[in-house]
């Protein structure tokens, strides 16, 4: 077979969208080059588990070359894509120039600090293995420092943990952190007085989990209170100097830890396309997920701005990225047969978030669940969605151990 004649598809990004798309074209008569700045696929929904010392990075990441070992029509290249020439149809990485017939951009997103420079400099975020690991190191260091601190005010500031953003990531992080402290850390530091510890969840609007139905928002707040998380609604953060959080109403909170989960925007490469961007820097795409004026370019996942039938932008979720990847792969099969691509329609699979042990909220098949049943659904689904049998098994054993022995195993402070 002469592969030279096959259409060359370049996929940028081996996250949820890029990987799903590439897999679905495994048997198509195309030549695929998959590019990512990392050599692994990262399961971002469990990043907070790295931060709270529940899992190690290798359990939620998987080497891309291993995933595609058997896919004969795909070549992987590790590299940073710096620029794209849409007219001449090539991309430039930090080591090469690659021409394409079709381009699929699945570049995902990055943390949006909304211009709050001091938060970006002094706060922590959960977007990569590196950022989650440094959050873990920092959290554990705070307990070490607090254990030898004699000044009570200083000790309280070391043990005050502020999570900003009442979306699923903020809720999951705050709940898991509170649980780490009450179930595990107190055993390691028997002298520690829990009265000195505060976990706060700050949310600028009047509710957590704004996209969830009312009953689940209320259930989330109850579950957070039960875990001893202080939820501050209608609370806007305006500054953080690494020691003190300043709120919009002038109040200040002494805290040595701030974890920012309040915003995501499209990855930076989206800004360099010269294409029309909407909110959060996402690129406006046609109903078929093609770039207007460049039908050979498809944009999927977090980087794409796509409105549903009610005119609402689709959320930045793995489920959206995967469904768009599936639809785009189907459209490629159509294009290869000389047919036109079909518009994309999102099927909402429901909502799911955990707030710690035995505590989660879920909306599935139009039904709302909270508490233990939702938590079991969350555990099963997340283990199932991990890549690699070994990762699934190890995570299952790890969680079972933590569950029965109240023990988060990865309490290591490592040098960065």
- Note the residues at the interface with ligand FAD (CB under 6 A): 12-18, 35-38, 44-45, 47-48, 80-81, 106-108, 126-127, 168-169, 267, 269, 301-303, 316-319, 321
Residues 232 and 251: their CA atoms lie apart, in Å, by 12
Q: How far is the CB of 44 from ligand FAD (least distance, A)?
A: 3
Residues 402 and 395: their CA atoms lie apart, in Å, by 10
Name which of 203 and 302 has its Cβ closer to ligand FAD. 302
342-14-346 Cα angle (round to 5):
30
293 Cβ neighbours under 8 A, 6+ residues apart: none
Name which of 47 and 359 has its Cβ closer to ligand FAD. 47
Q: How far is the CB of 218 from ligand FAD (least distance, A)?
A: 20
Q: How far is the CB of 252 from ligand FAD (least distance, A)?
A: 27
Name which of 302 and 402 has its Cβ closer to ligand FAD. 302
Active site (annotated) includes residue 172: yes
What is the 3 state secondary structure string of 299-364? ECHHHEECECCCCCECCCCHHHHHHHHHHHHHHHHHHHCCCCCCCCCCCCCCEEEEEECCEEEEEE
Phi, psi of 102 (to 5 degrees): -130, 145
Name which of 20 and 159 has its Cβ closer to ligand FAD. 20
| Torsion sign, CA atoms 336, 339, 344, 349 | negative
Long-range Cβ pairs for the range 346-349 (8 Å, 24+): 346/306, 346/308, 346/314, 346/320, 347/323, 349/319
Bridge partners for 307 per DSSP: 313
Name which of 143 and 378 has its Cβ closer to ligand FAD. 378
Q: How far is the CB of 168 from ligand FAD (least distance, A)?
A: 6
Q: How far is the CB of 285 from ligand FAD (least distance, A)?
A: 12
Neighbours of 105 (CB within 10 A): 31
Name which of 114 and 405 has its Cβ closer to ligand FAD. 114
177-182-185 Cα angle (round to 5):
80
Q: How far is the CB of 110 from ligand FAD (least distance, A)?
A: 8
Q: How far is the CB of 395 from ligand FAD (least distance, A)?
A: 15
Q: How far is the CB of 108 from ligand FAD (least distance, A)?
A: 2
Q: Which of 121, 130, 172, 296 is the catalytic position?
A: 172
CB neighbour burial string for 383-407, b if at least 16 within 10 angstroms, e if fewer: eeebbbeebbebbeebbeebeeeee
Name which of 231 and 269 has its Cβ closer to ligand FAD. 269
Q: Which residue is nearest to ligand FAD (CB)?
A: 15
Name which of 158 and 163 has its Cβ closer to ligand FAD. 163
Long-range Cβ pairs for the range 354-359 (8 Å, 24+): 354/172, 354/175, 354/176, 354/378, 355/171, 355/172, 355/175, 355/220, 355/223, 355/224, 355/227, 356/175, 356/176, 356/178, 356/179, 356/223, 356/227, 357/179, 357/183, 357/403, 359/175, 359/223, 359/226, 359/227
* Residues assigned a catalytic role: 172
């Amino acid at each position: 077979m002469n592969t030279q004649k096959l259409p060359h598809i370049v996929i940028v990004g081996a996250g949820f969208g890029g990987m799903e798309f590439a897999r679905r074209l495994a048997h198509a008569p195309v030549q695929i080059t998959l590019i990512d700045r990392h050599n692994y696929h990262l399961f971002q929904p469990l990043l907070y588990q790295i931060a709270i010392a529940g899992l190690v990075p290798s359990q939620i990441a998987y080497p891309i070359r291993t995933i595609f070992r058997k896919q004969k029509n795909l070549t992987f290249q590790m590299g940073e894509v710096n620029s794209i020439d849409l007219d001449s149809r090539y991309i430039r990485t930090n080591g090469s120039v690659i021409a394409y017939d079709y381009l699929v951009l699945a570049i995902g997103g990055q943390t949006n600090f909304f211009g709050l420079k001091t938060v970006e400099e002094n706060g922590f975020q959960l977007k990569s293995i590196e950022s989650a690991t440094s959050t873990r190191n920092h959290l554990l260091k705070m307990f070490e420092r607090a254990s030898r601190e004699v000044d009570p005010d200083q000790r309280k500031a070391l043990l005050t943990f502020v999570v900003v953003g009442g979306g699923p990531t903020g809720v999951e992080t705050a709940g898991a952190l509170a649980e780490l402290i009450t179930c595990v850390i107190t055993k390691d530091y028997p002298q520690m007085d829990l009265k000195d510890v505060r976990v706060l969840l700050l949310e600028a609007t009047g509710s957590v989990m704004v996209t969830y139905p009312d009953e689940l928002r209320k259930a989330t707040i109850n579950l957070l209170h039960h875990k001893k998380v202080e939820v501050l609604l209608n609370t806007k953060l305006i500054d953080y100097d690494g020691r003190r959080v300043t709120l919009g109403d002038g109040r200040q909170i002494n805290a040595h830890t701030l974890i920012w989960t309040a915003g995501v925007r499209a990855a930076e490469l989206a800004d360099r396309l010269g294409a029309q961007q909407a909110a959060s820097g996402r690129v406006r795409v046609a109903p078929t997920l093609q770039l207007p004026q460049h039908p050979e370019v498809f944009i999927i996942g977090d980087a794409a701005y796509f409105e549903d039938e009610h005119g609402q932008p689709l959320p930045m979720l793995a489920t959206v990225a995967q469904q768009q990847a599936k639809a785009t792969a189907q459209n490629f099969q159509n294009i290869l047969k000389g047919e036109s691509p079909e518009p994309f329609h999102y099927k909402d699979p429901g909502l799911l978030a955990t707030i710690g042990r035995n505590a989660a909220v879920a909306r599935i098949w139009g039904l709302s669940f909270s508490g233990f049943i939702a938590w079991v659904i969350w555990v099963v689904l997340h283990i199932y969605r991990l890549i690699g049998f070994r990762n699934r098994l190890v995570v299952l054993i790890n969680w079972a151990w933590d569950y029965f022995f109240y023990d988060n195993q990865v309490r290591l402070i490592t040098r960065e």
